[in-house]
Chain A
Amino acid sequence: MEMKNISKSFPGVKALNNVNFQVKQGEIHALVGENGAGKSTLMKVLSAVHPYGTYEGDIIFEGEICTFKNINESEAKGIVIIHQELALIPELSIAENIFLGNEQEKRGVIDWKRTVTEAAGLLKKVGLQDSPRTLAKDIGVGKQQLVEIAKALSKKVKLLILDEPTAALNEDDSENLLQLLLEFKRQGIAAILISHKLNEVTRVADSITILRDGQTIETLTCEGGTVSEERMIKGMVGRELENRFPARTPQIGEVVFEVENWNVADPLHPGRKLIKDVNLQLRRGEIVGIAGLMGAGRTELAMSIFGKAYGKNISGTLKKNGKPLDINSVSAAIKEGIAYATEDRKTYGLILIDDIKRNISLASLDKISNRSIVDQRQEILEGESFRKKLNIRTPSLLQKTVNLSGGNQQKVVLSKWIFSEPEILILDEPTRGIDVGAKYEIYSVINQLAADGKAILMISSELPELLGMCDRIYALSNGTITGEVAREEATQETLMTYMTRTRG
């Protein structure tokens, strides 16, 4: 299989730029890179989630140029992708899930006997002992992953693509999965493995391709584990820092906010801890970063601090100016001067069908109202002042936020939280999906907030952004703080090492 000069653009972003990528028969090929480097997009092109014609370049599979129009066509050729988010239907049985869209039928009537026996055979191949009649929701994530693989096998897979297959699995399940991949390799099935867990990659991969900013950086062949993690990290992050960040002279004051022994459990599985004994300190005028890979618990940490908006069995202490805070709701958190700008502005940040001014005022209606009656003129004046200050590009404050570009939407979200006059501002991926120009503006706003004496906690997947903006960076991995680095000592390599380190 070969992908030649693949380029793919989304509105405003070039996600892939002339990527070349080859997989030999029967090898495990790892694809690594930072979040947003283009790994998932490349695999979506290959598996025809982005069909032929929406990208440039050629896919050559077994010597033929492929022109897949949809996933069915790519699967018919034996290219099957297993996405990061599992796609099993919880209320259906394992057997039904395996043959979903590919039902074992005779003239429209499902042949249950064949369905179940074939499913049992496939389950045996992936080493799963459960009955094919068990419902998908009744088995753990690890087993669900195996069912996905069985589903792929049912399609006579020749090239299996796994996107972060072990992200949600524990050690044993991951080990099991990797063994299975090695077993398939012996049977001649090639696999593409996308993973952030570099130790896994070095163990099973025959070759490793590194992507960065939508481009292939290099392909390494590893015979007998000759490629070290450090070598990969260098390839993944090795880019020059341009002058993308506005200059700033930090004026850091006393400690204003502390998080002590913070523990949070998964709201759906209260036994599973997502955040373990986290300790953080923020100082006035300081920008503190949190670096972590996807699934490390960044957003969970932030939202649990923000009025326990996420998680169960939360324990630990929050302190403001040395005094413990008792916060049990978002409104209490806002009253105590905490603000949280979400990573997902469309789902959690904005009321898209409402206009700009109403979105800006929503969290601080008491500031512009008298005996609970909203002063709409003052609302417009405040909105107007934020529009000027943050340069929100819109013909009118009455514009619905759904019609704004990502950058302008983010400015509305920031306006909302600046208007609530917080002392502690948590920014979760403040520049996700925003073009370079708007990013610079947002960085300037963040710097201004810090200069005004606010403490800022900034979560980002982009290491250069953290290095360019933050005074201090915590690395979060698997729910624990694995390192704390001051600006002067921080490099992408050290951060990446901390972020990929697993501890208890």
Chain B
Amino acid sequence: MKLSELLRNNMRQYGMIVALMFIVLLFSILSDGILLRPLNVTNLILQNSYILVLAIGMVMVIIAGHIDLSVGSVSAFIGAVAAIFMIQMQMPTVVAVTLCLIMGALIGAWHGFFIAYLKMPSFIVTLAGMLLFRGLTMVVLGGKSLSPFPAEFRLISSGFIPDMPFLGIGSYHALTLLVGLVLSAFVIFSEMKNRRAEQKHQFGVLPKSLFIAKLVAMTAVINIFTFVLASYKGIPNILVILFVLIVVFSFVMNKTVIGRHIYATGGNQKAAELSGVKTKRVTFWVFVNMGFLSAVSGLIYAARLNAATPKAGTMFELDAIASAFIGGASMAGGVGTVIGSVVGGLVMGVMNNGMSLIGISIDWQQAIKGLVLLAAVGFDIYNRNKSS
């Protein structure tokens, strides 16, 4: 496989990663390096985690050919319910969190039922859901904020993985460095295994020099990242949650039958149906999943704010949708990746953070983000027209 061919086939993915790197570089120069300081990197993760969780679910909804406008309101509602459970009813944290996640899935099932089985347009069903759950949030909270949450709940968003005892290397968080090394070893190992298997079946593989360059680059990025984290407080708990979600859902979408069925349903529902895909069931479960992830996002946000407020989660749905589209998803369905959506979310997150650092006002930030979305999707469509 030649480099040019590789670039052409993966134009979208590489394009996005290059764009992210460019933005990171631009803002670290403009902010005199503040962007990449350990404290700020940690903050970046904490600030964007709840949007990234939604972006993972949203890209799956979009791949299935739908849209979900309700996720911001659902997040807020779950945050409110969590406050009622933990603050007013004094429920144990684990029980309350479990109930909230189940409730999120049920809300997703509510939307999914109308969309999949009654064939109502998802735009309308979830627009109704957006109003409904925003209203219910205010009803549940009586229009007021509820705080504070128990300490162990707040750990979700403010805690860090504790360091191993007797391992302190100066001021660095040793476990984090170790995780970086283990992760790099794992990446190198699995890439080599893959390559060997592909060579055995005589599929095209990267030339050796490029393959080594790729491994070096990947190890470098992983270790620089963990090094930066280690020089602050180490790995935030939320990063572990995010990592698990990204790995699990990427796996589901790329490697499992259900993932294929989601792509097929969004790509051409009629053809998928005539190939034996149960498209209604697929659509239903995609929304259940979205509801579940909205609940996760709502809990993370409530824990970070240490309060449930009636205005929580406003505009989250639009950030999540924008992430998916910046990340290469197609409005028509059938196209998109979980990783792409996460990268899209990071592009927006880094821009937010970077623009704040260099003192651009919030009004301008919003306007610039709008233009970025337009440019990213425009570029994508331009590329697609050129290639076909």
Give chain A's interface residues, CB within 8 Å of chain B.
306-307, 309, 329-331, 333-334, 340, 342, 347-354, 358, 361-363, 365-366, 369, 372-374, 376-377, 380-381, 398, 402-403, 416
Residues of B within 8 A of A (CB-CB), count: 29
B28 to chain A minimum Cβ distance, whole angstroms, is: 37
**Complex Cα–Cα for A395 and B128 (A):** 48
* CB atoms of B201 and A380 under 8 A apart: yes
* CB atoms of B276 and A347 under 8 A apart: no
A331 cross-chain contacts in B, Cβ below 8 A: 276-278
**Complex Cα–Cα for A184 and B274 (A):** 46
- Residue B150 at the chain A interface, CB threshold 8 Å: no
* CB atoms of A348 and B274 under 8 A apart: yes
Q: List 7 interface pairs A-B (beta carbons < 8 Å), by A numbering.
A: A333-B276, A348-B270, A348-B274, A350-B268, A351-B264, A353-B268, A362-B264
**Complex Cα–Cα for A326 and B166 (A):** 68
- Residue B203 at the chain A interface, CB threshold 8 Å: yes
* CB atoms of B271 and A348 under 8 A apart: yes
- Residue B255 at the chain A interface, CB threshold 8 Å: yes
B255 cross-chain contacts in A, Cβ below 8 A: 373-374, 376
A362 cross-chain contacts in B, Cβ below 8 A: 260, 264, 272, 275, 277
* CB atoms of B271 and A351 under 8 A apart: yes
* CB atoms of A403 and B388 under 8 A apart: yes
* Cβ proximity bits B348-388 to A, threshold 8 Å, 1 near / 0 not: 00000000000000000000000000000000000000001
Q: Tell me whether A350 and B334 are in contact in the complex, defined as CB-CB below 8 angstroms, given that A372-B257, A398-B9 are known contacts.
A: no
A326 to chain B minimum Cβ distance, whole angstroms, is: 16
Report the 8 A-B pairs with minimum CB-CB distance, sorted nearest first: A351-B267, A331-B276, A363-B275, A334-B276, A351-B268, A362-B275, A365-B257, A372-B257
For window 243-291 of B, CB contacts with A under 8 Å fall at 255-261, 263-264, 267-268, 270-278
* CB atoms of A374 and B257 under 8 A apart: yes
- Residue B120 at the chain A interface, CB threshold 8 Å: no
A350 cross-chain contacts in B, Cβ below 8 A: 268, 271
A483 to chain B minimum Cβ distance, whole angstroms, is: 29
* CB atoms of A330 and B276 under 8 A apart: yes
**Residue of B201, B261, B273 touching A381 (CB-CB under 8 A):** B201
- Residue B61 at the chain A interface, CB threshold 8 Å: no
A130 to chain B minimum Cβ distance, whole angstroms, is: 31
Q: Give the interface centre of A363, A381, A416 by most chain B CB atoms within 10 Å.
A: A363
- Residue B335 at the chain A interface, CB threshold 8 Å: yes
A289 to chain B minimum Cβ distance, whole angstroms, is: 22
A363 cross-chain contacts in B, Cβ below 8 A: 275-276
**Nearest chain A residue, comparing its CB with the CB of B279:** A330
**Nearest chain B residue, comparing its CB with the CB of A365:** B257
- Residue B124 at the chain A interface, CB threshold 8 Å: no
- Residue B197 at the chain A interface, CB threshold 8 Å: yes
A402 cross-chain contacts in B, Cβ below 8 A: 388
A306 to chain B minimum Cβ distance, whole angstroms, is: 7
A221 to chain B minimum Cβ distance, whole angstroms, is: 47
**Residue of A334, A347, A374 touching B256 (CB-CB under 8 A):** A374
**Complex Cα–Cα for A307 and B273 (A):** 10
* CB atoms of B334 and A330 under 8 A apart: no
B256 cross-chain contacts in A, Cβ below 8 A: 369, 372-374
* CB atoms of A365 and B274 under 8 A apart: no
Q: Give the interface centre of A351, A352, A403 by most chain B CB atoms within 10 Å.
A: A351
* CB atoms of A347 and B270 under 8 A apart: yes
**Complex Cα–Cα for A340 and B271 (A):** 11
Q: Give the interface centre of A362, A363, A380, A381 by most chain B CB atoms within 10 Å.
A: A362
* CB atoms of A349 and B272 under 8 A apart: no
* CB atoms of A330 and B273 under 8 A apart: yes
**Residue of B258, B264, B276, B277 touching A354 (CB-CB under 8 A):** B264
* CB atoms of A354 and B274 under 8 A apart: no
* CB atoms of A369 and B270 under 8 A apart: no
B198 cross-chain contacts in A, Cβ below 8 A: 377
A255 to chain B minimum Cβ distance, whole angstroms, is: 25
* CB atoms of A349 and B334 under 8 A apart: no
A373 cross-chain contacts in B, Cβ below 8 A: 255-257
Q: Give the interface centre of A340, A349, A376, A381 by most chain B CB atoms within 10 Å.
A: A349
Q: A350-B271, A362-B264 are in contact. List 14 more A-B contacts (CB 8 A).
A: A309-B274, A329-B278, A330-B275, A331-B277, A334-B275, A351-B264, A352-B268, A354-B264, A363-B276, A369-B256, A372-B256, A374-B255, A380-B201, A380-B203
Q: Give the interface centre of B201, B264, B271, B278 by most chain A CB atoms within 10 Å.
A: B271
Q: Tell me whether A365 and B388 are in contact in the complex, defined as CB-CB below 8 angstroms, given that A342-B274, A353-B267 are known contacts.
A: no
* Cβ proximity bits B28-57 to A, threshold 8 Å, 1 near / 0 not: 000000000000000000000000000000
* CB atoms of B334 and A377 under 8 A apart: no
B203 cross-chain contacts in A, Cβ below 8 A: 380
B272 cross-chain contacts in A, Cβ below 8 A: 351, 362
For window 106-155 of B, CB contacts with A under 8 Å fall at none
* CB atoms of B270 and A377 under 8 A apart: no
B257 cross-chain contacts in A, Cβ below 8 A: 365-366, 369, 372-374
A398 cross-chain contacts in B, Cβ below 8 A: 9
A459 to chain B minimum Cβ distance, whole angstroms, is: 15
**Complex Cα–Cα for A432 and B245 (A):** 46
**Complex Cα–Cα for A352 and B256 (A):** 20
Q: Tell me whether A365 and B260 are in contact in the complex, defined as CB-CB below 8 angstroms, given that A347-B271, A353-B267, A354-B334 are known contacts.
A: yes
* CB atoms of B388 and A354 under 8 A apart: no
**Complex Cα–Cα for A361 and B260 (A):** 10
* CB atoms of B334 and A353 under 8 A apart: yes
B127 to chain A minimum Cβ distance, whole angstroms, is: 23
